[in-house]
């Protein structure tokens, strides 16, 4: 499907926690000039703004329950209908299950659209652990850094807004192990789902982020 000013691109990034999906999403968004849509971010935005969907999601989240798939797909659908998604978008953190992938496929199909590519980003456990434990986040604007691979200028404050950098409470080995177990059980089956559709491309994430971005762009037929 063509859109004015270039082809429509709908990109899905999947991979274990800490593999760098968010980092690559931001880089690809800047290069391709399409929005990066992180499920967690849009859920929090809807809750903060107390939208109808946000109120529904908040009720489940407050009680420690998983937000149902029908609410999740409603949140995603609302976001991708916005004007900035006209030429495509990058999905990070969604879909997480086969059911969500099927729902997304139906949603896109109802508009005559389909995913362009699904990138499965992989790295060994030791690299995931290093990334998670070394991650630092600006408590004001949310910019992300790393104590080894992407330091801020002085190592303590954000280069964007100058606020203090902090380590998230859940950036621990125990939390990583729990999230990896959840990923193995719920999300990893999507590899086979997207392989069957000829959409899956596996990318090794054990490299500097710029090289990973370049490989993804080449798979998309973009000159770097």
Reduced to 3 states, what is the DSSP secondary structure of residue 1? coil
Catalytic residue among 79, 131, 135, 136, which? 135
Catalytic residue among 21, 79, 131, 136, which? 21
Is 21 an active-site residue? Answer: yes
Catalytic residue among 79, 96, 131, 136, which? 96
Contact 219, 33 (CB under 8 A): no
| 190 C-beta neighbours (distance < 10 Å), count | 20
Catalytic residue among 113, 114, 151, 179, which? 179
Q: Is the dihedral of CA 34, 204, 134, 156 positive or negative?
A: negative
User: Where does residue 19 rank: exposed (0-12), middle (13-18), buried (19+ CB within 10 A)?
Assistant: buried
Is 113 an active-site residue? Answer: no
Measured distance CA(71)–CA(42) in Å, rounded: 12
Beta strands in 33-113 (DSSP E): 36-38, 88-92
Task: Give the residue from 55, 219, 38 showing the smallest Cα distance to 144.
Answer: 38
Place of tokens 């949603």: 107
Task: Record the tokens describing residue 102, joined without a space.
Answer: 């099927």
Q: How many CA atoms lie within 13 A of 167 on its CB side?
A: 13
Catalytic residue among 30, 52, 168, 197, which? 168
Is 96 an active-site residue? Answer: yes
Is 135 an active-site residue? Answer: yes
Is 33 an active-site residue? Answer: no
Give the catalytic positions in this structure. Answer: 21, 96, 135, 168, 179
């Amino acid at each position: 499907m063509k859109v004015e000013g270039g082809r429509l691109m709908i990109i899905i990034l999947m991979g274990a926690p800490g593999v760098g999906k968010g980092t690559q999403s931001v880089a690809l968004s800047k290069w391709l000039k399409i929005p990066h849509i992180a499920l967690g971010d849009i859920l929090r935005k809807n809750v903060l703004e107390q939208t109808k969907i946000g109120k529904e999601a908040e009720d489940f989240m407050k009680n420690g329950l998983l937000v149902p798939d029908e609410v999740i797909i409603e949140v995603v659908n609302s976001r991708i209908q916005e004007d900035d998604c006209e030429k495509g978008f990058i999905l990070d953190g969604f879909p997480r299950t086969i059911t969500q992938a099927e729902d997304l496929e139906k949603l896109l199909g109802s508009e005559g659209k389909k995913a362009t590519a699904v990138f499965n980003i992989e790295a060994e456990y030791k690299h995931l652990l290093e990334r998670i434990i070394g991650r630092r986040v600006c408590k004001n604007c949310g910019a992300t850094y790393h104590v080894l691979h992407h330091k801020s200028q002085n190592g303590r404050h954000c280069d964007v807004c100058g606020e203090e950098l902090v380590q998230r409470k859940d950036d621990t080995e125990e939390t990583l192990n729990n999230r990896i177990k959840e990923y193995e059980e719920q999300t990893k089956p999507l590899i086979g789902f997207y392989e069957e559709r000829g959409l899956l491309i596996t990318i090794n994430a054990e490299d500097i982020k710029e090289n990973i971005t370049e490989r993804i762009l080449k798979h998309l037929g973009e000159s770097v």
